[in-house]
């Protein structure tokens, strides 16, 4: 049965779209196999589609295709013309050679000409299958989906860049799917009617797809949210390193490419027996590249120290009368010293030399002859510094301009850093009178602006994307590297010297013996944080990562600002309005409000679907809030308790709120379990000691007759820390 002109035009449009889609199939194959004569393959595709379009008899169509394939092989692989005496011997030789090779099972020796024949035959069959889908099934969705998958796979696992190709295929596929859908819909009607009625559906559909595609193409694009899986797969297969894919957690010297998920590792690195809790410092880095950290160029010296001699660093040291020692037992010996804040000296057997790099302050271990040395144990002497709040509040931003050039490397930022990062830094630190207050404002910013701690759902920045900018404005999900790097960049953006610190978090507390507690530090405790320079005080450590708390000792030797007190206590001045005018104003307001509400209510009653939509919205919102209750409820409670006074009454209420939150995350108090045992189990699960501190005070509050003085401010900080731990 002959087709109408309208059907012919529809089929011609469909075949043009198929030709363009198959072209996108062909391009990566040609590029990756380094195959030439791309245009000749396109001619074969066009020829096959044209033969189907004009409904040429299958026998004649097959002869035409076979003739083109023969000419193709002779033209590319033979030096003789098609109509010459050497053509037939060449073809017979190729046929004999390849048949013998195939029958012997040596497929690797198949000639290039035979591979080309097979590829053209594959295109032949593919076009026949597509013709069947279009003319009989009226559905091209599977071919469309397979094409997108094919290009996306090559784009991910090869050097082929398929971004533009995927856009083309999606647009063409949507148009093609729409045409066939209208075709099926039209055929299902009893009386198809005028052909122009069909095109009244087709033309707006094509215009809509093209318009949306053009707008989407030119709109700014967000970078990839998920990490590239290829480096991780290569790492698992033993090919190369993990790159930007999933990396194994632990200390590493290469921080040039940050981002991507981490795989946990609880391998024990060292055990420390100490009176106090410590952050374990190894080295610092000063140059941010927009993708990670490297060391700046320059001539930096090295300091040599012998065992048990004073070691000088850029950090403060506490009073000698408070000096204590840490016994370090190294499970995985490393050629450098694990430092702590307030460190004064290191002693070890065999009298090794300690070589301090002035650039990174990393302390290497060497033998007397200069070779690297690994120590299985040593002793660190330290005295924790205590910082004066009065001195910190005297640090004026104007003093930053008087710093010498040695601080320039701690103010370095890449030229490609987006302007909105600097704008955010200025917004956070505005109206802060001291440098210390500016630093604390940046440190606290992450805990109250929707950021989340996670080691798995961590993005890797795209090629032209900044690591910090992506975290601050796009994902807001990451681990210590994201938080610490972002804080350093924000501080530098407002002129505050800052550096990135690598090492280990305090670790898992163990048994207590003679006033000394054992801390077990594993690869999972690898951590990064921030050191910032406060004029008049020096370098101080800061902890921006959600769920972690630093060890800074502050002496609050300053009274609250009386000007602030007066400002808080001073009542707002209001203009006194005459009673008559006030009453008239209230009546007008009530009248206008009543009128507005009545109008809205009348409108709502007439629209039943509005009620249905509101009910569905309330149900969906309720379900979402219920599913996320472990996160938003404690956040609201933290904000509420920040405004309340720290006393026994509020402490009692906050303790009960904490136990409810612990119950939500699975740490429910068992029947018959004492508070102390429960607190110990919670601390073991959350890797803290704060729950036992809070419980001890709570027991004193409940059972104690003579209540001792309690520092409610520190208790509130411990409570908030535990709440954040349950969220993260």
Residue 338 binned pLDDT confidence (cut-offs 50, 70, 90): very high
Instruction: Out of 21-35, 269-283, 615-629, 676-690, give the one with best mean pLDDT.
Output: 269-283
CA 295, 303, 507, 532 torsion-angle sign: negative
Residues 6+ apart with CB under 8 A from 628: none
The full DSSP string for 224-259 is: PSSPPHHHHHHHHTTSS--TTS-EE-S--S-BSS--
Q: Which residues pair with 526 in a beta bridge?
A: 504
Which pLDDT value is given to residue 218? Answer: 74
Per-residue pLDDT at 334 exceeds 50: yes
Q: How many CB atoms lie within 10 A of CB 418?
A: 16
Among the residue ranges 70-84, 255-269, 293-307, the one predicted with the least confidence is 70-84
For the chain, give the number of residues.
728
> Are 246 and 230 in contact, with CB atoms under 8 Å apart?
no
The whole-angstrom separation of Cα 486 and Cα 500 is 10
The whole-angstrom separation of Cα 494 and Cα 413 is 11
Give the angle subtended at the CA of 585 by the CAs of 584 and 590, to the nearest 5°.
Answer: 100
Convert the pLDDT of each residue in 96-115 to its tens digit: 888 888 887 777 677 888 88
More confident of the two residues 72 and 341: 341
Q: Is residue 593 helix, strand or coil?
A: helix
The whole-angstrom separation of Cα 303 and Cα 363 is 9
Residue 409 binned pLDDT confidence (cut-offs 50, 70, 90): very high
Which pLDDT value is given to residue 221? Answer: 61
Convert the pLDDT of each residue in 193-231 to its tens digit: 555 666 677 788 888 888 888 887 777 666 555 545 554
Per-residue pLDDT at 579 exceeds 50: no
The full DSSP string for 691-728 is: HHHHHHHHHHHHH-SSPPP--HHHHHHHHHHHHHHHH-
Among the residue ranges 105-109, 114-118, 288-292, 415-419, the one predicted with the least confidence is 105-109
Residue 364 binned pLDDT confidence (cut-offs 50, 70, 90): very high
The whole-angstrom separation of Cα 535 and Cα 446 is 24
Express as a percent the part of the chain with pLDDT over 70: 83
Which pLDDT value is given to residue 645? Answer: 72
Give me the domains of the chain, ranges plus CATH numbers.
Answer: 36-137 (no CATH), 253-557 (3.10.620.30), 629-727 (no CATH)
Which pLDDT value is given to residue 234? Answer: 46
Among the residue ranges 93-97, 134-138, 300-304, 609-613, the one predicted with the least confidence is 609-613
Residue 13 binned pLDDT confidence (cut-offs 50, 70, 90): confident
H or E, element range at 660: helix 648-664
Which pLDDT value is given to residue 602? Answer: 57
Per-residue pLDDT at 518 exceeds 80: yes
Instruction: Out of 157-161, 236-240, 354-358, give the one with best mean pLDDT.
Output: 354-358
Residue 697 binned pLDDT confidence (cut-offs 50, 70, 90): confident
Per-residue pLDDT at 660 exceeds 50: yes
Per-residue pLDDT at 5 exceeds 50: yes
The whole-angstrom separation of Cα 320 and Cα 362 is 23
Residues 6+ apart with CB under 8 A from 47: 64, 65, 68
Mean pLDDT along residues 607-628:
72
| Among candidate residues 326, 219, 332, 314, the one with its CA nearest the CA of residue 269 | 332
Residues 6+ apart with CB under 8 A from 20: 168, 172
The whole-angstrom separation of Cα 264 and Cα 722 is 22
Per-residue pLDDT at 519 exceeds 50: yes
The whole-angstrom separation of Cα 177 and Cα 17 is 11
Among the residue ranges 27-41, 263-277, 381-395, the one predicted with the least confidence is 27-41
């Amino acid at each position: 049965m002959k087709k109408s002109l309208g059907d012919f035009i529809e089929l011609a449009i469909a075949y043009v779209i198929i030709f363009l889609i198959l072209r996108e199939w062909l391009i990566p194959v040609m590029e990756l196999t380094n195959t030439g004569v791309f245009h000749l393959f396109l001619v074969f595709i066009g020829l096959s589609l044209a033969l189907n379009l004009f409904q040429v008899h299958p026998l004649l169509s097959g002869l035409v295709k076979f003739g083109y394939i023969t000419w193709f092989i002779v033209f590319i692989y033979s030096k003789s013309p098609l109509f010459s005496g050497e053509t037939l011997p060449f073809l017979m030789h190729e046929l004999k050679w390849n048949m013998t090779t195939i029958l012997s099972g040596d497929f690797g020796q198949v000639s290039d000409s035979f591979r080309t024949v097979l590829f053209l035959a594959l295109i032949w069959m593919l076009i026949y299958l597509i013709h069947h889908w279009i003319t009989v099934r009226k559905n091209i969705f599977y071919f469309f989906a397979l094409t997108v998958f094919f290009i996306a796979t090559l784009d991910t696992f090869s050097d082929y860049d398929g971004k533009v190709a995927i856009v083309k295929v999606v647009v063409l596929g949507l148009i093609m799917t729409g045409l066939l859908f209208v075709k099926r819909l039209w055929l299902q009607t009893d009386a198809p009617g005028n052909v122009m009625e069909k095109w009244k559906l087709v033309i707006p559909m094509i215009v809509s797809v093209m318009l949306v595609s053009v707008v989407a193409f030119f709109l700014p694009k967000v970078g990839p949210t998920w990490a590239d899986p290829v480096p991780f797969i290569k790492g698992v297969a033993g090919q190369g390193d993990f790159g930007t894919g999933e990396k194994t957690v632990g200390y590493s010297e290469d921080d040039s490419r940050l981002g991507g998920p981490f795989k946990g590792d609880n391998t024990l690195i060292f055990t420390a027996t100490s009176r106090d809790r410590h952050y374990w410092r190894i080295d610092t880095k000063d140059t941010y590249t927009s993708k990670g950290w490297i060391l700046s160029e320059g001539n930096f010296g090295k300091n040599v120290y012998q065992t048990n001699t004073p070691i000088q660093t850029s950090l403060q040291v506490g009073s000698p009368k408070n000096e204590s020692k840490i016994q370090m037992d190294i499970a995985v010996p490393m050629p450098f010293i694990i430092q702590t804040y307030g460190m004064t000296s290191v002693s070890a057997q065999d009298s090794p030399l300690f070589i301090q790099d002035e650039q990174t302050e990393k302390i290497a271990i060497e033998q007397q002859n200069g070779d690297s040395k690994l120590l299985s144990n040593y002793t660190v002497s330290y005295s924790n510094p205590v910082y004066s709040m009065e001195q910190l509040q005297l640090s004026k931003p104007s003093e930053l301009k008087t710093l010498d050039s040695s601080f320039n490397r701690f103010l370095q930022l890449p030229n490609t850093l987006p302007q909105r990062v600097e704008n955010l830094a200025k917004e956070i630190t505005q109206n802060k009178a001291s440098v210390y207050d500016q630093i604390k404002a940046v440190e606290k910013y992450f805990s109250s602006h929707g950021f989340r701690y996670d080691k798995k759902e961590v993005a890797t920045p795209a090629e032209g994307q900044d690591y910090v900018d992506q975290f601050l404005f796009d994902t807001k999900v990451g681990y210590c590297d994201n938080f610490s790097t972002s804080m350093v960049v924000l501080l530098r953006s407002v002129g505050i010297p800052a550096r990135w610190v690598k090492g280990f978090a305090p670790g898992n507390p163990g048994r207590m013996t003679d006033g000394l507690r054992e801390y077990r530090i594993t690869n999972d405790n690898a951590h990064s944080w921030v050191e910032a320079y406060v004029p008049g005080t020096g370098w101080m450590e800061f902890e921006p990562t959600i769920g972690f708390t630093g060890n800074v000792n502050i002496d609050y030797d300053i009274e609250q600002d009386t000007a602030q007190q007066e400002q808080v206590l001073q009542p707002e001045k209001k203009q006194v309005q005459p009673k008559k005018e006030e009453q008239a104003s209230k009546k007008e307001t009530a009248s206008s409000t009543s009128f507005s509400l009545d109008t809205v209510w009348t409108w709502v009653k007439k629209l039943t679907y509005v009620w249905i939509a509101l009910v569905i919205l309330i149900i969906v919102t309720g379900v979402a809030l219920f599913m996320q209750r472990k996160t938003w409820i404690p956040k609201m409670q933290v904000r509420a308790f920040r405004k309340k006074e720290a006393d026994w009454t509020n402490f009692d209420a906050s303790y009960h709120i904490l136990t409810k939150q612990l119950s939500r995350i699975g740490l429910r108090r068992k029947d018959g379990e004492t508070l102390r045992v429960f607190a110990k189990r919670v601390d073991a699960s959350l890797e803290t000691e704060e729950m036992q501190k809070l419980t001890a005070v709570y027991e004193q509050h409940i059972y104690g007759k003579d209540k001792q003085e309690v520092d409610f401010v520190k208790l509130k900080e411990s409570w908030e820390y535990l709440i954040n731990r349950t969220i993260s």
